[in-house]
Structure 1
Amino acid sequence: MNILVLGGGGREHAIAWALAKSPRTDNLYAAPGNGGTDSVAQNVAGLNAEDGQAVLEFVKGNAIDLVVIGPEAPLVAGVADVLREAGVAVFGPDAQGAQLEGSKTYSKEFMQANGIPTARYGSFTELEPALEYVHELGAPVVVKADGLAAGKGVVVADTIEVAENAVRSCFDGAFGSAGSKVLVEECLTGPECSLLAFVSGGKAHCMATAQDHKRAFDGDRGPNTGGMGVYSPVPIVTDKELADMTHMMKVAAAATAREPFKNDYRGVLYGGFMLTPEGPKVLEYNARFGDPETQVVLPRLKTDLVDVMMAVAEGRPDDIELEWDDQWAVCVVLASAGYPGKYEKGKVILGVEDAEVMDGVTVFHAGTARNADGELVTAGGRVLNVVALGKTFDEAREKAYEACDVINFEGKQLRSDIGAKAAAGRGAWE
């Protein structure tokens, strides 16, 4: 098969890496790809992943059998719709299904209509009513830009003043059109957990649990980021919590196949959960693989990813059977100095090859490129995802940090406590 992966981050490198292992894969393309995907796929520079017609022309010109859409923006833009209408097998929901991520208001209405537990909220298009609701809920409170903001449109405000500033920032254009509508919601408490599922035909096949670290600095301090590290599975999740989360994912998947929310959902549904004292509640849905959750989930998937994705794309959910490696996976993100704020690019990266020869270690590239001399250089805020598999949680964590130590670039930034809380047990969140 000839396969095209749209996207150029760590998630897409992990997807391409997993697809490349399949005996069914012949030619593999990544558009645009990055400095790491070129080791498993042919990078395609200049193809606009959000332009459905441009992608379709590439598909026709290169006899592509399957298109895998990585990021959320092409999904919301309806790229899957254009390709499916032309008879192309696509892994990724249509534009209507992608509204579960593209509009937080739509997502909340979806949850409420289907009895899926979530936080109380208000959705606003004007400043004053939003500020009034902030005062009604009181601090701490969560402020979210309604639209796509690359994982950075959420502020967990510890004070009313911070919340008011966050609301004003959205309406003042900090997130462009994504902030023209603002959600204000109650702040839930407890550990967070992600549960992803392959969804097709209204059925959900859940993957392994994962837990991301959103804050920039140790101790869960600093601004929210796209994710600074993650592990799988999540040791603090109880059997009851897992059963509840799985049930919610199945309810959501079934709802995508029914009115009034019926859509052509063939891809990944990402459930972001808070494990509250009252039980798991959904914080958000995403319409694609998580980043960096994918980087620890796919290395533990023993089933051929091409088989799974084709079954999803062709609407054959009953043909999906998932088998998992019982090893633990830990990912530590190496970021550019200043991330998630301003940062410089073009810093030469050394030591990746040394890290990858270590037992159980894989390095997925996120923000990397090759300079004119062919050197690997930084090209984004999150630069590398250093992933290690181990027989125990502690072993996987130790391996990941050992590998991080041998990789260097100017301004390398990382958290030193990925997984530390979970290793200490559920009480660490109390």
Structure 2
Amino acid sequence: MKVLVVGSGGREHALAWKLGQSPKVTQVFVAPGNAGTATEATNIEIDASDVPALVQFATKNQIDLTVVGPEAPLVLGIVDAFEEAGLRVFGPSRAAAELEGSKVFCKNLLHTADVPTADYRTFRGSDDASRYIKDKYPEPNEPVPVVIKADGLAAGKGVIVCETRREALEAIDRIAGQKEFGDAGNELIIEERLIGQEASVLAITDGETIISLPAAQDHKPAFDGDQGPNTGGMGAYCPTPIVDEAMFERIESDVLVPVVHAMKRARKPFKGVLYAGLMLTSAGPKVLEFNVRFGDPECQPLLMRLKSDLFEVLYAAAEGKLADIGSLEWDDRPSICVVMASEGYPGSYEKGLEITGLAEADEVDDVKVFHAGTTLQDGKVVNAGGRVLGVTAIGNSISTAKLNAYTAVRKIRWQGAWCRKDISDKAIHGG
């Protein structure tokens, strides 16, 4: 069987690596891929959003399964285009991808399905949104515990957590006034700020059967102690002890199952990865957002622990036969992914800087270095993005996995490279 993975990040490197381990897979292509995927798959110079070219390639090369990594091509309708061409593809349709493509759609669906989430209001412009904040919080110095979200895709950066009225008004202006995130800010959401710890629960579904994956915990803020601006994710670990068996069952019954049913009722049946971003509040789990693909960096530690044949699972889901797949087999040991980033991220950063020490890092026991923002330049690996590498490790305990990961991190160098130093500390120390 021949497989095509669409995308160029750490998630796609992890998918290509794991899919390539299947005895049923003879060849893995990645479009466009990165310097890491080039070492264990065949990179194809087609952009992830160039849907016609991808369909043409898959048809010509008789690809048996295409796995779409990033959200942008899913929202563009890549799955619809592949299915219309008679090609087998894993991922949600354009209509179903609206669950991530529009936060307004997502919040309204959650409300309709009676799925617990934060109270919210939606706005189509900065004037009405600003007026709402000024009316609700008339005192300039009073706390304003809200989160402002751009409606559309913003590479994980269109969510701004606010503490004061000034911060809220600035966030509204950035999103809906200055259009910092482009058309993603045509609508925006103002919602109450939830208090608790975040967790991610991903599930694979064919629209009927749901197979939930172990809970993970992402680290969105840029700096240690969850300080600084939101990013696409600075690291993750799996499983997270804050989601025990009872909580996991509650998330399945109160969140995942109702959403799959609600999407079916809305005539937007969901097939693919359903990713619930959750806040575990004192009142129970509440949904922060839904994504419609494997999370990056959650995908890396998840696949590090997966023992089952990923190809068999995704192929069955694409065929609508997920019920034929039994329980997945997992390594009992926990895993952790530490993201190494370019200096300046999540703002502007310099590209083309040579990365050294990758081979030495890969030699550390129980470590796999997944490439994200890298490319090959004159035979050398250089940085080509903000989040550059996902150094992923497994160990007999979270502490051991962390030690393995950071041992490998210390062997990797490029000018300005940095990472958070506290990935997984919440699991080790609690809170």
TM-score, normalised to structure 2, is: 0.96
| Equivalent in the alignment of 1:282 | 287
| Equivalent in the alignment of 2:215 | 209
How do 1:212-227 and structure 2 match up within 5 A?
212-227=218-233
Contact 1:52 1:80 in 2 (8 A): no
Letter in 1 for 2:7: G
| Equivalent in the alignment of 2:20 | 20
**Could you tell me how far apart the structure 2 residues matched to 1:221 and 1:402 are?**
24
Aligned partner (choices 258, 262, 267) of residue 255 of structure 1: 262
Paired positions, count: 422
**Could you tell me how far apart the structure 2 residues matched to 1:331 and 1:201 are?**
30
Letter in 1 for 2:191: E
| Equivalent in the alignment of 2:72 | 73
**Could you tell me how far apart the structure 2 residues matched to 1:90 and 1:35 are?**
25
Letter in 2 for 1:405: R
| Equivalent in the alignment of 2:153 | 148
| Equivalent in the alignment of 2:239 | 233
Contact 2:59 2:87 in 1 (8 A): no
Contact 1:202 1:256 in 2 (8 A): no
Residue 301 in structure 1 maps to residue 293 in structure 2: no
Residue 162 in structure 1 maps to residue 167 in structure 2: yes
What's the CA shift for 1:80?
Answer: 0.3
Residue 128 in structure 1 maps to residue 127 in structure 2: yes
Residue 420 in structure 1 maps to residue 425 in structure 2: yes
What's the CA shift for 1:204?
Answer: 1.6
Q: Which runs of 4+ in 1 moved over 4 A?
A: none
Q: Indicate the RMSD between aligned Cα atoms, in angstroms.
A: 1.1
Instruction: Give SS of 2:184's match.
Output: helix
Residue 346 in structure 1 maps to residue 345 in structure 2: no
Letter in 2 for 1:57: Q
Deviation digits for residues 150-175 of structure 1 (CA, Å, limit 9, x no counterpart)? 00000001111111111111112101
Aligned partner (choices 373, 376, 381) of residue 370 of structure 1: 376
Residue 327 in structure 1 maps to residue 326 in structure 2: no
What's the CA shift for 1:244?
Answer: 1.3
| Equivalent in the alignment of 1:118 | 117
What's the CA shift for 1:357?
Answer: 1.3
**Range that drifts further, 51-60 or 363-372:** 51-60
How do 1:384-399 and structure 2 match up within 5 A?
384-399=389-404
Contact 2:354 2:382 in 1 (8 A): yes
**Could you tell me how far apart the structure 1 residues matched to 2:208 and 2:118 are?**
25
**Could you tell me how far apart the structure 1 residues matched to 2:321 and 2:250 are?**
25
Letter in 1 for 2:21: K
| Equivalent in the alignment of 2:140 | none
What's the CA shift for 1:238?
Answer: 3.0
| Equivalent in the alignment of 1:96 | 95
How do 1:167-206 and structure 2 match up within 5 A?
167-171=172-176, 172-206=178-212
Letter in 2 for 1:98: A
Letter in 1 for 2:337: C
**Could you tell me how far apart the structure 2 residues matched to 1:118 and 1:66 are?**
35
What's the CA shift for 1:254?
Answer: 2.4
**Could you tell me how far apart the structure 1 residues matched to 2:218 and 2:200 are?**
8
Deviation digits for residues 184-232 of structure 1 (CA, Å, limit 9, x no counterpart)? 1000000000000001133321001100111111111111000111100
What's the CA shift for 1:54?
Answer: 1.8
Contact 1:202 1:255 in 2 (8 A): no
What's the CA shift for 1:241?
Answer: 1.8
What's the CA shift for 1:266?
Answer: 1.8
**Could you tell me how far apart the structure 1 residues matched to 2:129 and 2:110 are?**
21
**Could you tell me how far apart the structure 2 residues matched to 1:424 and 1:49 are?**
40
Identity of aligned residues (%): 48
Instruction: Give SS of 1:97's match.
Output: coil
**Could you tell me how far apart the structure 2 residues matched to 1:26 and 1:4 are?**
11
**Could you tell me how far apart the structure 2 residues matched to 1:134 and 1:292 are?**
34
What's the CA shift for 1:358?
Answer: 1.3
